[in-house]
Amino acid sequence: MSLSTLTQLLQEGQSSYLCYDLGRLVQPLSNTDFAAIENQTMPYPYPVQGHACFALVFWPQLAASAQDPFLWFLKFPIDERGLLEQGRVHEFITQVITLLGQQVTHALTEEQEQQLQQSPYLFTPTEEKRAALHAKLSLRWQRPPSVHFELAESTLADPQHWQQVGVQGLHDVSARLTQLETTQAAICGNFLRYPEALRQALAVALEHQTVPNAMATELASLLAQQPAGAEGRADLLRSLASQEPDPAIITAVTHVLQQPSVDEVVICCARLWPLFDPMSDCPVPLASLLDALAQQEPGIFAALITDLLRLPGLRPHLLVTLQRDDLPQQVRQAWQAFTGAH
């Protein structure tokens, strides 16, 4: 039997598996969607620099509750249609079968491990994304958080010794906030008073988690009160990246886009783009994002509009908006300069 997808390889090897997307945010990707992406019946939804990035977690079907799972961090190019380049996936599968046969959950020798790590399709995500994934998996499998959890939790209540806090601890706390009402209140009360490095690290941890609704609303309300240029505004914005749209978040993001910094525009495009999808329940007007983009330098406009056009869920709405007769002059000029240069 010729194996053409990773889904087939794992099924043939009698493996259970989970897939997480690592492109922009660390978030689960259903096995059904992963198979559709592999079969090119669905475009990859979260491209970054022309690539799809996955974490594939798998274990023998007979093993108890994913004990000691295997983990591959995979990165494959996508084509101009947003579809996974199947030839590259086939190439990786051939490498795996050559090394391991079809039993992908057998223990690897040190030599096999070294050979597999040389594959151009394996990559090392940032420390923050690895920490976010670890936090999500330990929670999913009802395992205890890392040894860094308690220090992170106590530091968010009293940041006196914040320099000792580990990245993994902040991600473990962020993943478990539903169970930590006191910590929710501490974060909302102290967010803008945290030392800058701690606040930024916390924002990165929060961006990969869906925090409790009341907490998200409080952070959004705090964001809506911050004037342009206020310290911590970009971090508050980033902390809301994985939230479902609601009126408080829409109000806050709309407020930020009236006078955004470059960092805030980048965060909106790279992390908060689902808020601008007209098909969502409570979208921020796409026109407000385009207005903010047009205020930036031509090079920044070009880079960010190119990035947005690669998002298959947003691309058709973006193109329709950019063709409107009532498009603001500044946006029209920026778009015409972009299309003329490309």
Q: What is the pLDDT of residues 75-93, one digit of tens each?
A: 999 998 999 999 999 999 9
Q: Alpha-carbon distance 87 to 89, whole Å?
A: 5
Nearest residue to 252 via CA among 39, 57, 235, 95: 235
Q: How does pLDDT run across 24-35, given as a tens digit for each residue? A: 999 999 999 999
Radius of gyration of the chain (CA): 22
Q: How does pLDDT run across 305-320, given as a tens digit for each residue? A: 999 999 999 999 999 9
Q: Is the pLDDT of residue 116 over 90?
A: no
Task: State percent of the chain over pLDDT 70.
Answer: 97
Q: How does pLDDT run across 240-254, given as a tens digit for each residue? A: 999 988 899 999 999
Torsion of CA 225, 228, 230, 231, to 10 degrees: 120
Length, in residues, of the chain = 342
Contact (Cβ atoms closer than 8 angstroms) between residue 244 and residue 276: no
Q: In what order do the strands lie in the sheet with 51-60?
A: 27-29, 15-21, 51-60, 70-77
Looking at mean pLDDT, say which of 58-62, 106-110, 291-295 comes out highest.
291-295
Q: Is the pLDDT of residue 66 over 60?
A: no
Q: Is the pLDDT of residue 65 over 60?
A: no
Q: How does pLDDT run across 191-239, given as a tens digit for each residue? A: 999 999 999 999 999 999 999 999 999 999 999 999 999 999 999 999 9
Name the average pLDDT for the chain.
93
Q: Is the pLDDT of residue 103 over 80?
A: no
* Domain range annotation of the chain: 6-117
Q: How confident is the model at residue 63 (pLDDT cuts 50, 70, 90)?
A: low
User: How confident is the model at residue 138, as a pLDDT?
Assistant: 95
Q: Is the pLDDT of residue 341 over 90?
A: no
User: How confident is the model at residue 289, as a pLDDT?
Assistant: 96
> Per-residue pLDDT averaged across 119-135, rounded?
97
Contact (Cβ atoms closer than 8 angstroms) between residue 337 and residue 298: yes
User: How confident is the model at residue 245, as a pLDDT?
Assistant: 86
